[in-house]
Structure 1
Amino acid sequence: MTSQLKGSEQHEGFHVFGIRHLSPAGAHHLLSFLDTVQPTAILVEGPSDASHVIADMTSRGVVPPIAILAYTNELPIRTLLYPMAEYSPEYQAFLWANRHGVHTEFIDLPSETALALHEQRRAWRKSSMEPEDEPKDGSRTGPQGAPTEDGLQAAPPEEAKAENSLQTYLRKQHERYEQIAELAGEPNYDSYWERHFEHNQQKDAYRHAVYEFSAQMREISELDEREHDAAETAYNEIREAYMRRRIQEVLKAGHVPGKVVVVTGAHHASALDLRLPVMTDKQRASLPKASTKLTLMPYSFYKLSTHSGYGAGNQAPAYFTLFWECLKKGDLSGLPSLYFSHVAARLREEGNYRSTAALIEAVRLAEALASMQGGSQPTWQDLRDAAVVCLGYGELSTIAEALARTDVGTAIGSLPEGVSQTPIQDDMNRELKRLKLEKYKSTVATTLELDLRENRRVKSEEAAFIDLKRSVLLHRLKLLDINFARKQYVNQGAASWSENWVLQWTPEAEIQVVESTLKGETIELATAFVLNERLEACGDITEASKLIRIACDCDLPKLMEQARGSLQELAVDAGNFNQIAAAAYELSVLIQYGSLRRMDTDSLVPLLQQLFLRGALLLSDAANCNDDASKSVIAAIHTLHGVAQEHFDSVDDALWIHKLQDLASRDDRNAKCSGFAFAILLERNEVSEDQSAQEVSRRLSPGIPADLGAGWFEGLSMRNRYALLSRTSLWRQLDSYMESLEEAQFHRSLVFLRRAFGSFEPREKAAIAEMMGDIWGFDADQTGEMLQRPLTNEEKGKLDELNDFDFEDL
């Protein structure tokens, strides 16, 4: 359609200024152009229903980068992002309009239509794609920062297979741009763009060059676009027809055409010509809609960079911020010195120092590289190459972190309180301020150590329990899947007074906060909503007990009581020993540390008693299992015994010991489980020396199959090995057992016992060797000498036989 028209950047008297998103030179030349034209209206490509947030974007206290977030207010949530940096031409246009009191608005499709069409495009591509055309890796590729890109967020990876035709088009487009760079002698398209457009300081050169370049590239690419992605073609034509309509409406409102400036992505510049069809009322009424909301949110340099996968970004937002600062001063020639001084400062922070002479040489080398390409100024790639040679001494690795901080940066934008925020965003910001967590709202991961105990050295209650309240907030964010805080488990265990969290703020976290507004207008209400949903869907006692723990961590006592009621109902029919043990453990932890979180846990004690009693009665039946299942059963026995020890005054400990004695004596239960139960009894001194010798003799006798005897010993060795090492009679009995076996049975037992001893620590194995040496009549020195002696070839052969042992039908 646009290929039929040839023209300049001015149609019907109004001005079209094509820009590349996130272009500092584009912002610089646009401001100069606005000063010259002195427009009465500035129209900007962007969601037309977001025009009301322009005033917020230009208000005092706003620090870019920021983004407009559009999201559906029904599940599943879909989002569109329109990010801007300080050097974004659109943002600078808004600031100019604010300073001069000029009317400004967005003119692209409203977000409700853009999101609906976005879904229709995805569905159309998926339905029209042939199975054999699906990409094998499900990945999406595309040009990084090409002038044809808009601010739409990329499709999720799981849906990328539905966009193979778009991938083909984008790949060809990317190849075309790279061919341009190759013909110009540049390493990549970004270097080509920077040298030929960003560095061009001649008046009006940027505007004319971008317009003509994009118009020609669009004409060349239209054929490929129609062939490989008709959905994308249709979408762009709808957008452009709508923007032409909005321009026409502004002109009809009385603005003089020569005083209207349209700022748009260069790809659309040549299409904003009123000689082309304008969207009619009927067409506008037929556009699909999805109910949406809009908000402003802070953004980060990392997300603006192509390192994050954002296609309309640029690779070095921090570098282009330095570029923008030099343009504002009218001294672009000072950029190399400024860049290298920042790299040197980052190196100094790491403890590495570079001389002034090294920086001077880096500047000279960068300028020499630029002159070899016929440029007047070094590009970002020239500066990086010079930094590697002069500051990294030829090695990128030595300065990689310093370069990353200088190129990409860690800056994150900010918005003053109450500026175009959803209620839950405002609540989040208030909570961070109240709990003195604002400084952790950074893209750099920081560890926060919390002490949940009362701080008696402060005067106010707020300060005394600030770490506890921080913990509550972080647990709530964790439940809401807001990836601001990640908990690390410390040595004392997850239920102790100490908690370690890693805090890192990202734009994704901000989006997740916004999405949570559908669950509640505050963090507390949203958390309660999510927890209540999980309770309603809860079907087993393990999950119910975890929800009690979560409710306690999130300081939601009413929901904690609701979860307790659910657990009590489920416990009536509970028959899974492992689940009962896990549920009892969760309750045990809460009862132990509930006072630390200032929660009343007395109502949980009867429920713990009920679960413990049920678990004890199911112990013997649970041990009727094979070796694979025995691992989880033994873990559950260990857990339930821990509950018995911690709450001996509340639960029926005598019944538990009786059930352990019953399991330890049973021959028709899993041998490992019986051995583990016997180990607990040994530890509790519930078994005398004579009883121990009799049981070992019974379990480790020639009449017992080797796998059963060795399995029993393996279970025995899984608990308190120091108690085993202190009982010489046990090892004498094991020695007698091994001596009594015939050769075939001996080999079988040796294989199983080798597995049992495999988990012993070296010092434990050495202690066993010394004990066996005493039994065989060797002193400690002789035993040590034998252990240190190299293996003979015969002994190595015997070990190989054990490794190749045939377990037959075992």
Structure 2
Amino acid sequence: MAVTFLGVRHHSPACARLVADTIRSLRPAYVLVEGPADMNHRMDELLLGHELPIAVYTGYRDPQRRHGSWTPLCDYSPEWTALAAGRDAGAELRFIDLPAWHPALAEVRNRYADAEARYGEVTGRLCRAFAVDNVDALWDHLFEIQPADGLAERLAAYFDLVRGDTPAGSDDMAREAYMARWIRAAAADAGGRPVVVVTGGFHRPALIRLAERGDRNWPEVPRPPADAVVGSYLVPYSFRRLDAFDGYQAGMPSPGYYQHLWESGPAEAARRLTEAVTARLRARRQPVSTADLIAARITADGIAAMRGHPRPARVDVLDGLAGALVNEAIETPLPWATRGPLRAGAHPVIVEMIAALSGDRVGRLHPSTPLPPLAHAVLAVLGDPGEERLDLGEDAGRERSRFLHRLRVLRIPGVARTSGPRLGGGTEPVERWTLTESGDRLPALIEAGGYGVDPQEAAAAVLAERIRGADLDELADVLFDTALCGIGELTGQVLDDLARAVGAAAELGSLGRTLTVALAMWRHDELFGTSGATTLATVVEAATHRALWLAEGVRGGPAPADLQRVDAMTAVRDALRHAGPSLGLDTHAALGVADRLAACQEAPPDLRGASMGLAWSLRGTAAADPARALRGAFVPASAGDWLAGLFALAREEVLHTPGMLESLDELVGEMTDHDFLVALPALRQAFGFFPPRERHLIATRLVERRAGGGSGWDLMRLDAAPELVAAGRALDERVEAALRREGLIAS
């Protein structure tokens, strides 16, 4: 067979040049490329004239499995140059690998992620032999910055060595057997003319062996199961998504650098990298002098010579820049000495260097590229950027709200709700949304197209996926989202699951959260479109009973207040108050539980306070002298926790009961400085349950008590101009946003 096998590393400029040169030289009858065979009939679409990087996104969904994967391509991907050069040479182009949805690729999120983990032992020995830190530096050392002479032979020797006698897994064996069938059929059909095969180097040795014997008929493209939904579309991609420093385990990290290497060679790539780092640092007002750049260049050249490089490689340039620009000690390894996402807390100069390496290129699809129905459905009605106010009491407002919530569930960028009904919060009849432009919107819509043809179908599929295996907290979230999205058929399913989960619930906080959601939807059924959902009433009733039963069994000494537990007691109070008569809830039994818990010294302070508040708010009067109860519970280490529970459930009762604030003021005044500092964090948390208007009322009464008159604002104002405070807060927000953006603190 006149077959030339080219084993490559994905996204390698050296391999891309070799592939293009080989095809131009041989002018083969067929160019066979590792890629999804079900895209062969859409080769013209792939070669429309897009601005790379782009990717083929494949979404797969059946009753048992959901899978999404990408086949990314950039200018210097060997697979791309194979297609482009093959088309120019008049060759027949074929992808020869199994479709991305196939079970053999079920664990593959990215088809062109390297197989280095499978031969890590060999590459580890090579790294030690050549005194380099990792396989990326090894690859540059052996191939990217070396002369092109003999590259094909060196690549073949490298991949023969790293694969060795390592047995492939069953998935790789299935893929290689399938690719070999395409190779045999193409060789037979070529009639003696050349055939060029471009695959990952890991597969090359096996394909050479498998292509020697077997049938020579064209293989069929596998069809998905009848109950599966499969879609493949081109999506714009970006260098950020290609970068190993952002978590993509591709063949090459630092795509911006390798784009320069592809376009201009090692010397120019080194110069452009230095310029990009300098520009980024100066844009952030980091001083970079000409002397620093000279020192970085001299250091990089010296390191390259020491390492035996004819020209500075990527790590040589980076080491030179780090040596010249970073003056402080660095406690962690430099990121290019390892692999994976950039660690939080990295030096700011290092962060800018990694960003310069990555580049900011974003692909663009040709205008004639087909889009999935979902993208058309959304873009036709989404509207222009701006603010939207929706009245949920009107049909038009509810429909628009449901449309935007479906996009939120699908995680479409540039669609953000700023106010409205929230889980565990109020049920405002008005929503406000902000729509902004986003370069990531089209890719997200294309990828979400695998879930359905319109926003309702796609959002329903996402929510159905979230239901499977969800715990009580997650079911509460899904219930709320199904209601906001207006997907009634799922609401009933979630409610049935919730009803079963409530009966087995063992955690008071999660149960309270579920009760909060179910009660809000029961009370405002017209707003949420849940009228007639009888299971809602069952969930409210069962959750109320179960929460009281769980609460009575909680024991524990002083500890920080558990606000989820307090919220659960608040949910019980609201259920008894708003649904008790309609649903026949036993308020008398609930009061008995509350009284017992309030007097139980083995119960946590926050739960005792909340139980007293529950009984007080339901009766309208305290069962015992509240001031006396306050004195009995006021222990510096736990007073704030007890008050947090009390204030959460009986804030207004406390505020308007004579003597309560005065008693509390006396107790605080009697505390030693040490006790006050111990109690202060919890006290601040407790008083946070009062809204600003009520805090002002408390401050006014304290001023009257202490000073005989005056304004409560005196206790609530800072001795600083409002504009200074506002500027300080704005600065804090900008600093935090910058730190998160640069990966210096966790998001």
Superposition TM-score, scaled by structure 2 size = 0.65
2:139 pairs with 1:193: yes
Question: Cα distance, 1:29 vs. partner?
Answer: 3.7
Describe the shift of the 1:354–1:507 C-alpha distance in structure 2 as closer, same or farther (beyond 3 A): farther
Question: Cα distance, 1:172 vs. partner?
Answer: 2.0
Structure 2 match to 1:366: 300
8 Å contact kept, 2:326–2:349? yes
Describe the shift of the 1:153–1:522 C-alpha distance in structure 2 as closer, same or farther (beyond 3 A): farther
Of 632-641 and 37-46, more deviation after overlay is shown by: 632-641
Within the candidate set 550, 568, 590, 2:481 is matched to: 550
Question: Cα distance, 1:384 vs. partner?
Answer: 0.6
CA distance in 1, matches of 2:629, 2:465: 54
Structure 2 match to 1:528: 460
Cα deviation, 1:609-656, whole Å, max 9, x if unaligned, reads: 9988899999987875554699887644422445677x69x9789999
Describe the shift of the 1:494–1:313 C-alpha distance in structure 2 as closer, same or farther (beyond 3 A): farther
- 1:199 partner letter: I
8 Å contact kept, 2:176–2:207? yes
2:99 pairs with 1:111: yes
Within the candidate set 427, 430, 436, 2:374 is matched to: 427
- 1:427 partner letter: L
8 Å contact kept, 1:347–1:399? yes
Within the candidate set 275, 278, 291, 2:213 is matched to: 278
8 Å contact kept, 2:32–2:195? yes
- 1:386 partner letter: G
Report 1:430-449 matches (<5 A). Answer: 430-431=377-378, 434-435=381-382
8 Å contact kept, 1:568–1:607? no
8 Å contact kept, 2:475–2:498? no
- 1:472 partner letter: H
Structure 2 match to 1:380: 314
CA distance in 2, matches of 1:27, 1:687: 81
- Larger radius of gyration, structure 1 or 2? 1
- 2:79 partner letter: E
Structure 2 match to 1:162: none
CA distance in 2, matches of 1:317, 1:25: 14
Within the candidate set 354, 365, 388, 1:404 is matched to: 354
8 Å contact kept, 1:61–1:415? yes
Report 1:489-504 matches (<5 A). Answer: 493=425, 497=431
CA distance in 2, matches of 1:154, 1:602: 53
Question: Cα distance, 1:91 vs. partner?
Answer: 0.1
Question: Cα distance, 1:429 vs. partner?
Answer: 6.3
Report 1:455-470 matches (<5 A). Answer: 468=401
CA distance in 1, matches of 2:518, 2:457: 25
- 1:407 partner letter: L
- 2:323 partner letter: V
Q: What SS is found at the alignment partner of 2:199?
A: strand
Q: What SS is found at the alignment partner of 1:83?
A: strand
Question: Cα distance, 1:20 vs. partner?
Answer: 2.6
Within the candidate set 212, 227, 230, 2:167 is matched to: 230
- 1:550 partner letter: D
Q: What SS is found at the alignment partner of 2:682?
A: coil
Q: What SS is found at the alignment partner of 2:33?
A: strand
Within the candidate set 177, 188, 193, 1:252 is matched to: 188
Structure 2 match to 1:170: 119
Of 505-514 and 568-577, more deviation after overlay is shown by: 568-577
Q: What SS is found at the alignment partner of 2:410?
A: helix
CA distance in 2, matches of 1:398, 1:578: 41
Structure 2 match to 1:295: 232
8 Å contact kept, 2:641–2:682? no
Question: Cα distance, 1:379 vs. partner?
Answer: 0.5
Structure 2 match to 1:759: 682
Describe the shift of the 1:297–1:381 C-alpha distance in structure 2 as closer, same or farther (beyond 3 A): same
RMSD: 6.2
Structure 2 match to 1:265: 200
Within the candidate set 69, 73, 97, 2:86 is matched to: 97
Structure 2 match to 1:43: 32
Within the candidate set 1, 4, 9, 1:20 is matched to: 9
Describe the shift of the 1:755–1:322 C-alpha distance in structure 2 as closer, same or farther (beyond 3 A): closer
CA distance in 2, matches of 1:77, 1:281: 34
Q: Which runs of 5+ in 1 are unaligned?
A: 1-11, 123-139, 141-149, 156-165, 440-448, 456-460, 702-708, 738-752, 776-810
8 Å contact kept, 1:428–1:523? no
Report 1:205-244 matches (<5 A). Answer: 205=149, 208-211=150-153, 213-217=154-158, 220=161, 225-226=164-165, 229-232=166-169, 243=179
8 Å contact kept, 1:370–1:376? yes
Question: Cα distance, 1:110 vs. partner?
Answer: 2.9
Report 1:709-748 matches (<5 A). Answer: none
CA distance in 1, matches of 2:182, 2:531: 66
8 Å contact kept, 2:641–2:683? no
Question: Cα distance, 1:608 vs. partner?
Answer: 8.4
Cα deviation, 1:325-365, whole Å, max 9, x if unaligned, reads: 215xxxx5322221122112222443335345544553444
Report 1:650-665 matches (<5 A). Answer: none
CA distance in 1, matches of 2:211, 2:686: 85
CA distance in 2, matches of 1:85, 1:62: 9
Q: What SS is found at the alignment partner of 1:354?
A: coil
Describe the shift of the 1:586–1:363 C-alpha distance in structure 2 as closer, same or farther (beyond 3 A): same
Report 1:323-338 matches (<5 A). Answer: 323-327=261-265, 332-338=266-272
Structure 1 match to 2:718: none
Structure 2 match to 1:61: 50
Question: Cα distance, 1:320 vs. partner?
Answer: 0.4
CA distance in 1, matches of 2:653, 2:114: 60
Question: Cα distance, 1:104 vs. partner?
Answer: 1.3
- 1:175 partner letter: G
CA distance in 2, matches of 1:358, 1:498: 50
Q: What SS is found at the alignment partner of 1:261?
A: strand
Describe the shift of the 1:404–1:489 C-alpha distance in structure 2 as closer, same or farther (beyond 3 A): farther
Within the candidate set 331, 337, 344, 2:278 is matched to: 344
Cα deviation, 1:379-423, whole Å, max 9, x if unaligned, reads: 0011111222334457782312211212224545454578466xx
Describe the shift of the 1:354–1:240 C-alpha distance in structure 2 as closer, same or farther (beyond 3 A): same
- 1:552 partner letter: A
Identity of aligned residues (%): 19
8 Å contact kept, 2:276–2:356? yes
Cα deviation, 1:281-323, whole Å, max 9, x if unaligned, reads: 79989x9997585624434434433345655421211210121
Q: What SS is found at the alignment partner of 1:86?
A: coil
Describe the shift of the 1:316–1:363 C-alpha distance in structure 2 as closer, same or farther (beyond 3 A): same
- Report the number of matched residues: 645
Q: What SS is found at the alignment partner of 1:230?
A: coil
8 Å contact kept, 2:566–2:648? no
Question: Cα distance, 1:551 vs. partner?
Answer: 2.5
Cα deviation, 1:507-526, whole Å, max 9, x if unaligned, reads: 99789736x54xx4334113
CA distance in 2, matches of 1:180, 1:552: 61
- 1:435 partner letter: L
Question: Cα distance, 1:260 vs. partner?
Answer: 3.5
- 2:188 partner letter: K
Q: What SS is found at the alignment partner of 1:407?
A: helix
